[in-house]
Each structure stands twice: as structure tokens, then as C-alpha cells.
Amino acid sequence: MEELNIFQKIERVRHAIGGVLKKSKSGYGYNYTPEEEILFTVEKEMDKLHLTLYPEIVPGTMQITPFSYQKTKYDKAAKKTYTETVNDILGQADTVFVWVNNDNPQETIRVPFALVGQQSDASQCFGSGLTYMNRYFLLKFFNVSTTNDDPDALKAKQAKAEADAQAAILKDLIEQIDVLLAEKMTDGNRNDIMEIVAKAINRKANGKPVVNYRTIKQIPVATGLLQNLNDYFTRKED
């Protein structure tokens, strides 16, 4: 296996997730991405890259507090609302997630986080808090968004938007080259300019260097060509 440091390994896990997950479950009035769906991809990559992730509760920070509140309900039979007192348990603690590079256990990353849970039973409160914390740590640590739509369709839409933005940048660069050459290219410097263009494109067709800069498809190539042309004309003017 290629030797990677812990940051490079975590970056590969993030790429494997893909940035978007579907909200495939519903409960308590909202849709959400279940923990198992997140863990499926994350744990598979962690095993492959020899990474360990575990949570720690900061000693002395765990608090279990009785919590009461009023909840308005509707009685369908009586056709009226009424107020009910709900007695829950609120659990909270400061936590730290620890990433460990198993190939070099001294290499770790510690990420402060928090645990919060609310249930009618203390043990359920703790358990739900752990599940909620774990799910949202992974989502937020890896900058994963969740959607009700098909993630593949959303990714395709994002890819098209990015491609359109890149095309607009490339079009602007080509137009800048057009303007520059229209102003400064002459019969006397044409050969020099064609040589600069051919070197930037670095491609041949039918055995001859390509000098049509409008065929450039990469932004760095167009940017480099524009810079080289500006440098050339600056030297000539000096």
C-alpha cells in the first residue's frame, strides 16, 4: 500500500463518500440519512486505509438532568386541543473523536464534539445521544450534504454547473487572447507568436504543431498562453 499520512487517508475517505447522501428514512416529523448508510462507506474505506475512529467522553462533563415541558395535543374525539406535561431526561457531555493512523498509531487527530440526547429513560437518552452524535460528526466532519432527491441526479446537476462555470472562464481567456493579438500581432512578429502558441498547446495534427489557440480546452493552458503572450509583448516594448 502507498504510504499515506493520516490527513491523506482521511481525504480519501471523504472522496469515497462522494459529498451527497440521500435522506432515506423518516421519523419524528423529518427525513434523515441513517447512521448505517453513512457508516457503510466510511468503515469500508477506513478498513482499506488502516484508520481507526473512536469517541471519548471528556471526564467530568456528563450531565443527566430531568427535563419537563408542556406539549400541545389534539383530541380527535373531543375535537379540541389540550396540554400535556412531558417528563424527559436530558443527557449531555463534551466529547472528542479520535482518528488514529493504524500504520503509525502515534499519528492521531483529536476533534472536539458534543453529545446531547433526550428521552424518557436515562439509558435510552444516552444511546440516542451517541447515535445522533456519531451520525452528525461524520456528516459534518466530511462536509457531506443530505438531500431528499436522488444523489446521483444532484451530483450530475452540480457537475454540469461546474462545467458551465469552467467553460465561461475558458471563453473569457480565449477572448482576451483574441483582443491582445488583434491589437499587437503584426507580420513581423507573427512567427514568434505562432511559436509561443504551439509551445503552449504542445500538440500536433498531421505531423504539424497545432497553433489554433481556440481549440484549447484546459484553463491552465489558456492562462499560461495569455501570460506568455503578455510577457512577449512587454519585452518587445522594452
Q: Which residues pair with 146 in a beta bridge?
A: 21
Segment-wise mean pLDDT, segments of 10 residues, the chain, 238 residues: 85 75 47 61 87 95 90 87 90 96 96 93 89 86 63 56 80 91 90 91 86 89 91 84
**Domain identity same for 159 and 132:** no
**Do 164 and 221 share a domain, yes or no?**
yes
Rounded to two decimals, the pTM is 0.55
Report yes or no on 68 lying in a domain: no
Number of folded domains that form the chain:
2
**131 and 180 share one domain:** no
Residues 233 and 161 in one domain: yes
The whole-number pLDDT of residue 139 equals: 82
Task: Point out the domain boundary residue: 80, 113, 148.
Answer: 148
Q: Give 98: exposed, middle or buried? Use CB within 10 Å, 0-12, 13-18, 19+.
A: middle
Whether residue 119 lies inside any domain: the answer is yes
Q: Are residues 175 and 136 in the same domain?
A: no
Residues 37 and 137 in one domain: yes
Instruction: Give just the sign of the alpha carbon dihedral 200, 202, 208, 213.
Output: negative
Do 119 and 182 lie in a common domain? no
- Among residues 56, 134, 61, 139, the alpha carbon closest in space to that of 96 is found at 56
Domain check: are 44 and 144 in the same one?
A: yes
Looking at the structure, do residues 20 and 113 belong to the same domain, yes or no? yes
The answer to the question of residue 75 being in a domain is no
Same domain? 132 vs 177: no
Domain that holds residue 41: 6-56+97-148
- What sign results for the dihedral spanned by CA atoms 119, 120, 126, 127? negative
